[in-house]
Structure 1
Amino acid sequence: MKLTRDFLIGMVFAVVLSPLQAQTKTTGPSWVGSWAASQQLPEPQNSMPPEDLNDATLRQIVHLSVGGATLRVHLSNAFGFLPLHLTSVHIAKPLSPAAASIDPATDKALTFSGREDVIIPAGAEYISDPVSYPAPALSDLAVSIHFDLPPAEQSGHPGSRATSYLVHGDAVSAAELAGARKFDHWYQLAAIDIAAGPDAGAIVALGDSITDGHGATTNGNDRWTDVLAQRLQANAGTRNISVLNQGIGGNHLLTDGLGPNVLARFDRDVLAQTGVRWVIVLEGVNDIGGLTRLSDPPQADHEAFVRRILASYEQIIARAHAAHIQVIGATIMPYTDSGYYHPPASNEADRQAINAWIRAAGHFDAVVDFDRATADPKRPDHLNPAYDSGDHLHPSASGYRVMGEAVPLTLFAR
């Protein structure tokens, strides 16, 4: 048989590539995100003076969704413009979700490539080495970070709805943080992963302040995403499904608000999340309300605006599908009489048009109708008073419970 040049070259490539292909087979654990928070550059009123993070320990408490026996922690320097050095990072079980106290017997140091300190490059995220650490589902975890020098721009999540604690000195293992400064923000902490079985998967909740939990109870873990996580854990068929809250208060589809716009943060907050298989999209109220907040533009502007909103949804769907992620659209909830947006009739018509598109077949893979779940039956352009936090825009804890209960668990059946 005559061997052609192309055939011989192909055989050489096959011999060279085969060992490499064998080496790339996954032999380690399957990971899934159990907790996460969207990173942004904190606004001036939500950032700390740099001197506060000079030789300081920051203890932050997060609430996991799925549990497991091995975990790893993601630290963020996403908005820093210089490398960030952290001298030590410890985890422990807090005695309460609303206090800095930990059980010292559970304190454990994280490592990064075997070392206890880490240097995170500018604009980057860093993942700790896996650590054997039993972490039950729906439990709390304290993460204590020691800074020798402050970050060159903080990366964080202002809307934590959870209290963090700061003291000077290296107190990462301290059972108590006497005299700690308290604030309801997270800094430099991006996610917690759990080693799970191959059937585990994560749901990313992509949204604005309604997903972030404005109006929820501080340290109460009663956002709609928390309610959904509780329901998933209560159902034997979905206990391996986690919920990652990637809401940012004031977020927009079309422009930067508080934090980057949705398409600008989509890669980091959705595609890069560990084990993500579904994304629930609840975005748009800040765009719609902002259109008419100061004045009502001509009808042509409303029509062009709605087209841009729908095009943004199409971009989300296309990018998620390219990564084999199912996209669940959530209808935009009513907010007539909101003291912030004062929506006129034309604004309500935009909301109705957008919601009709979300509900229509052939767009999202599935729909969660938060609009119908939370609307006042007598005045469907208003939030139900029983679910209203009082500003006619954000739900109360009762409203968040109704939202969490409105998500069909059958969407996540395997």
Structure 2
Amino acid sequence: MIRASVGGDAVRIKLSNEYTREPLTVSTVHLARHVGAGAVDPSTNGRVTFGGNDSVTVEAGGTVVSDPIAFRLPAGGDLAVSAYVPRRIGSVTQHGSANRDNYAAPGNQSTKDSLSGVRSFYNYSFLAGVDVRNPAAEGAVVALGASITDGYDSTWNENRGWPDLLARRLAGGGRPVGVLNAGISGNSLLNDGVGPSGLNRLDRDGLTPAGVRWVIVADLGLNDLGGADAGTGDRLIAGLRQLIERSHSARVKVVCTTLPPYGGSESFSSVGEAGRQAFNEFVRSGGSGCDAAVDFDAAVRDPTAPARWDARYDQGDHLHPNNAGMEALTTAIGLDQLA
């Protein structure tokens, strides 16, 4: 189940088998408007093909992109992608936390209005992206981050992460800009671990998606500072410089954000806090090379204890925002910074 950030008249999907060792075959893939709880509007059901075929096999380590399918989708519309997997597979490439319900059921039910024998699950299995064609679109912005960007612990099924809220602000302002959420919970800017590092996945996730014009570099560095390399302020700055240089070479603008506070969390240390402060001062400086800077830190910190979240915005673990905190983060982004 995908919420479209921008509307359009055609859709294509990307399937990934990048992290498995056996081929993945999917067949009878369909798109439809999702109307809730796994049910779709049957009048919108459309057949997806791959090189004109109903079935496609994605080799181990590979990806495929479907043919475009004529499909009218409004901005903010919910889309159901249904696919039949005819053969059992041992593992699946997935995005671990969709922060919403997806659904599985036995047999080929890809054309059904609703599923029988259904169970819900919370990841995105082998669906790596949805492109929407809109000739009036200004382009796309990629939110490159970790768990805060991923929407961790915002209200389930309500699309309340800050990239979702940014998409609504843009649409409400009459700007057809796609917002691509490339947040991975647990991800880091410098170090591979929970997925490739931000630097190592920049080309795939940040620079090559269709129509990309901007990358917002968000909370990645918090996981570097909270890990074994806590004293990495200088390395984070060097990593951000590299990211900016590579993005500019690809003609993509970079919007840098300061790192939100994490005082009181399990990963906090005084050494890491010094690194965060150094990184944030660099982002705020005029010589960072960022095309724009957003002060996430100033938007959500406690004015009396600036190493900690303002209690109004703290989810409770002193690391992640609640819904109000997500609102505060997206409000800190000036829409004129995407220009």
In structure 2, which of residues 139, 142, 145 is the aligned counterpart of residue 204 of structure 1? Answer: 142
Other-structure match for 2:35: 95
Other-structure match for 2:5: 65
Larger radius of gyration: 1
Other-structure match for 2:131: 193
Q: Secondary structure at the match of 1:367?
A: strand
1:355 aligns with 2:280: yes
Provide Cα deviations, 1:165-207, integer angstroms capped at 9, x if missing partner: 1111000011121231111111010111111226521000000
Structure 1 residue runs of 4 or more that deviate by more than 4 Å after TM superposition: none
Per the normalisation by structure 1, the TM-score is: 0.79
Residues 77-92 of structure 1 correspond to what in structure 2 (within 5 A)? 77-92=17-32
Q: RCO (CA 8 Å, sep 6+): is it higher in 1 or 2? A: 1
Give the C-alpha shift of residue 215 in structure 1.
1.6
Range with bigger deviation, 221-230 or 345-354: 345-354
In structure 1, which of residues 355, 360, 385 is the aligned counterpart of residue 311 of structure 2? Answer: 385
Q: What is the CA–CA distance in structure 2 between the aligned matches of 1:357 and 1:150, rounded to whole Å?
A: 50
Conservation of the 8 A alpha-carbon contact between 2:234 and 2:278: no
Provide Cα deviations, 1:243-300, integer angstroms capped at 9, x if missing partner: 100000000122122111112211111122111000000120011011478xxxxxxx
Conservation of the 8 A alpha-carbon contact between 2:16 and 2:63: yes
Other-structure match for 2:322: 396
Conservation of the 8 A alpha-carbon contact between 2:99 and 2:153: no
Other-structure match for 1:141: 79
Q: What is the CA–CA distance in structure 2 between the aligned matches of 1:186 and 1:243, rounded to whole Å?
A: 17
Shift in alpha-carbon separation, 1:326–1:151, aligned structure 2, 3 A: farther
Q: What is the CA–CA distance in structure 2 between the aligned matches of 1:105 and 1:150, rounded to whole Å?
A: 31
Q: What is the CA–CA distance in structure 2 between the aligned matches of 1:326 and 1:400, rounded to whole Å?
A: 23
Q: What is the CA–CA distance in structure 2 between the aligned matches of 1:188 and 1:344, rounded to whole Å?
A: 37
Other-structure match for 1:269: 205
Q: What is the CA–CA distance in structure 1 between the aligned matches of 2:31 and 2:136, rounded to whole Å?
A: 26
Give the C-alpha shift of residue 101 in structure 1.
1.1
Q: What is the CA–CA distance in structure 1 between the aligned matches of 2:4 and 2:243, rounded to whole Å?
A: 26
Q: Report the AA paired with residue 249 of structure 1.
A: S
Q: Percent identity?
A: 40
Q: What is the CA–CA distance in structure 1 between the aligned matches of 2:193 and 2:221, rounded to whole Å?
A: 12
Residues 258-297 of structure 1 correspond to what in structure 2 (within 5 A)? 258-282=194-218, 283-291=220-228
Provide Cα deviations, 1:309-336, integer angstroms capped at 9, x if missing partner: 1111111111101100001111000011
Question: Unpaired segments of 5 or more residues in structure 2?
Answer: none
Q: Report the AA paired with residue 300 of structure 2.
A: T
Conservation of the 8 A alpha-carbon contact between 2:104 and 2:119: yes
Other-structure match for 1:57: none
In structure 2, which of residues 263, 277, 292 is the aligned counterpart of residue 336 of structure 1? Answer: 263
Question: Unpaired segments of 5 or more residues in structure 1?
Answer: 1-60, 294-301
Q: What is the CA–CA distance in structure 2 between the aligned matches of 1:323 and 1:72, rounded to whole Å?
A: 23
1:244 aligns with 2:180: yes
Q: Secondary structure at the match of 1:231?
A: helix
Provide Cα deviations, 1:12-37, integer angstroms capped at 9, x if missing partner: xxxxxxxxxxxxxxxxxxxxxxxxxx
Give the number of the structure whose residues are more often helix, by fraction. 1
Conservation of the 8 A alpha-carbon contact between 1:80 and 1:151: no
Q: What is the CA–CA distance in structure 2 between the aligned matches of 1:188 and 1:114, rounded to whole Å?
A: 20
1:128 aligns with 2:88: no
Give the C-alpha shift of residue 80 in structure 1.
2.5
Q: What is the CA–CA distance in structure 2 between the aligned matches of 1:243 and 1:280, rounded to whole Å?
A: 10
In structure 2, which of residues 206, 222, 234 is the aligned counterpart of residue 307 of structure 1? Answer: 234
Q: Report the AA paired with residue 320 of structure 1.
A: S
Per the normalisation by structure 2, the TM-score is: 0.96
Q: Secondary structure at the match of 2:206?
A: helix
Aligned length: 337
